Amino acid sequence: MTFQNLPTLLSEALAARGYAAPTPVQAAVLEPEAEGRDLVVSAQTGSGKTVAFGLAMAPQLLDEAGRPRPAMTPLALIIAPTRELALQVSRELTWLYQSSNVRVATCVGGMNPSVERRALSYGAHIVVGTPGRLRDHLERGALDLEELAVAVLDEADEMLDMGFREDLEELLDATPAGRRTMLFSATMPQPIVALARRYQQDALRISTVGEDRGHGDISYQAMAIAPADIERAVVNLLRLHDAETAMLFCATRDNVRHLHSSLTERGFAVVALSGEHSQNERNAALQALRDRRAKVCVATDVAARGIDLPSLSLVIHVEIPRDAETLQHRSGRTGRAGKKGTAILLVPYPRRRRVEGMLRGARIAAEWINPPSAADIRAADNDRMLEALLAPVEIEDTDRELVNRLLAERTPEEIAAALVQAHRARMPEPEELLATEAPPPKGPREGFEGSSWFRLNVGRRHNADPRWILPLLCRRGHVSRSDIGAIRLAANETLFEIAGPAAARFLEAVQRTSEEDDGVEITPADGAPREEARRNRRDHQHTGPARSGPHKPKPYQHGPRPEGRSDGQGAKPFRKKGPGGQGGWKKKPDQAR
């Protein structure tokens, strides 16, 4: 399909920008049935919506000859939730209508309002802005909407989520009743439906979002991990994918600050966006991402809204989104305009069921995968390094002299080894994940077929935690992390697994270091945790529980329950409650404390 029935100047502008065919949302708004009508458009972020509504409102802006219609006040108003999105929309409409001599004015927070008022006074056919700044200009008399022909609400659902309902209603109430209204939104919650019902007439509903998935160009993945492993999993994912630009979503600004510091310390080129950053800091961070001086952005949901980064190919939900709509908004930062993207959810084990329900509600088929290990990352590094080093290069004369000197002093093998080491030194080290709280595997883990189990005399009641247990085992048993398998925390003890080849060496080292004054005792366990539990239950059934004194039967263990008590405290007789027969002694109201 090609662009048809467009003014010549608009067709030439699209061709100059390389637009050969319309995207699905652009084709939908150009259909004959959509001409001149109010529209409610559900399309993913980055699907070409700006050009879509720019083309859709052309009949209200241009006459039959393709010239702008005469007007003293704005003919079109585009409202966007954030400064970044408004500026992006303004840039897109400027190149689209530049040859048609249509003037575009931008009104956003953080800019000089007097300059904006002056631009409005000179006359603008299209006004693009954020709700708060547009309302301010309207109330001060600088923005006149009496002749408005078309109003566009871009990312309408985000504007309602951000609390701009009153601003939107005041702006739309100031426009003529016969204007054309278009709502563009990635999702269609009930507030959007109510807004459309109030301000639109006979609106045409258009949806280009796939029924099977929230975003057709995004590959969704989910991985269940131990809560203590989340930060390490982020590091490994960034290293594995090596994305040109990646965005990490956190729930709070404190978590953004912590993760930003942690990744910076590890050597990643990372910036942060949250509510505590000023507009100048936001601009500097986004410019660093566009200039490729930074590759990772850590952000909160609100701070990342309206951001458009064409190179963004990876989104990591470091903290689980609060609902399916937030999941789609976050993930919609990638997979834009036909490009492929990846969205990954890091799911703590206890919250997997909740996330599965959220994915079903959003009609997203996510692939559940294992977290990348250090071995996976090194394998990917080797592939990327070989691809980079084996790529053909042209040797300059100045470089040839240096190459000859190196060959004269070192062998090719030594030079290649030095090049490999220099290439690896630029990248942060992968992390070892402690999958200690995963559900027990159906079979023995690879390398642990003949493993041995040991016991620690500390458990959850003693604040036992794998983060300090693992280094202690390595120190006391003279083993590495790879020799330690599953760790099972109980209330008063901890069972852990040692790989078969290292078990004897571990036990010998533990016995030599048993005199360390740390209060922690390590002893062999009688089989795996489940086997030991079954053995204890079997012994308990044969011999009965061990007692330190004479057996005292529980009161009322046999026979019918008593009809009352003789302790003088006025208790009522025992009564059954409900079908389960649960009940108990209940004091009279006048005796209750």
Count of beta carbons in the 10 Å neighbourhood of residue 34: 17
Beta carbons within 8 Å of 185's beta carbon, 6+ residues apart: 40, 41, 42, 153, 155, 156, 157, 192
Q: Are 85 and 160 in contact (CB under 8 A)?
A: no
Domains of the chain: 8-207 (3.40.50.300), 218-372 (3.40.50.300), 452-541 (3.30.70.330)
Structure confidence at residue 424 (pLDDT):
77
Of residues 286, 43, 24, the one with CA closest to residue 183:
43
Handedness of CA 16, 11, 58, 42 (dihedral sign): negative
- Is the model more confident about 402 or about 516? 402
In DSSP terms, 345 is beta-bridged to 222, 317
Count of beta carbons in the 10 Å neighbourhood of residue 524: 14
Share of the chain above pLDDT 70, in %: 83
Beta carbons within 8 Å of 45's beta carbon, 6+ residues apart: 155, 186, 329, 332, 333, 336
Tell me the mean pLDDT in the region 182-202.
86
Cα→Cα distances 376→239, 370, 382, 431, Å? 10, 11, 10, 11
* Lowest-confidence region among 278-292, 519-533, 544-558: 544-558
Share of the chain above pLDDT 90, in %: 32
pLDDT tens-digit readout, 272-293 = 998 888 878 888 898 899 888 9
Work out the mean pLDDT of the chain and round it to a whole number: 81
d(CA 567, CA 560): 19
Paired tokens of 443 = 């079979």
DSSP 222: E
Residue 259 has pLDDT above 60, yes or no: yes
Tell me the mean pLDDT in the region 224-231.
87
Paired tokens of 419 = 């090049």
Paired tokens of 77 = 């108003």
* Pairing of the two strands 575-577 and 582-584: antiparallel
Strand spans (E) along 383-538: 452-456, 484-489, 494-498, 522-524
Structure confidence at residue 438 (pLDDT):
43
In residues, how long is the chain? 593
- Give the end-to-end CA distance of the chain in Å, rounded to a whole number: 80
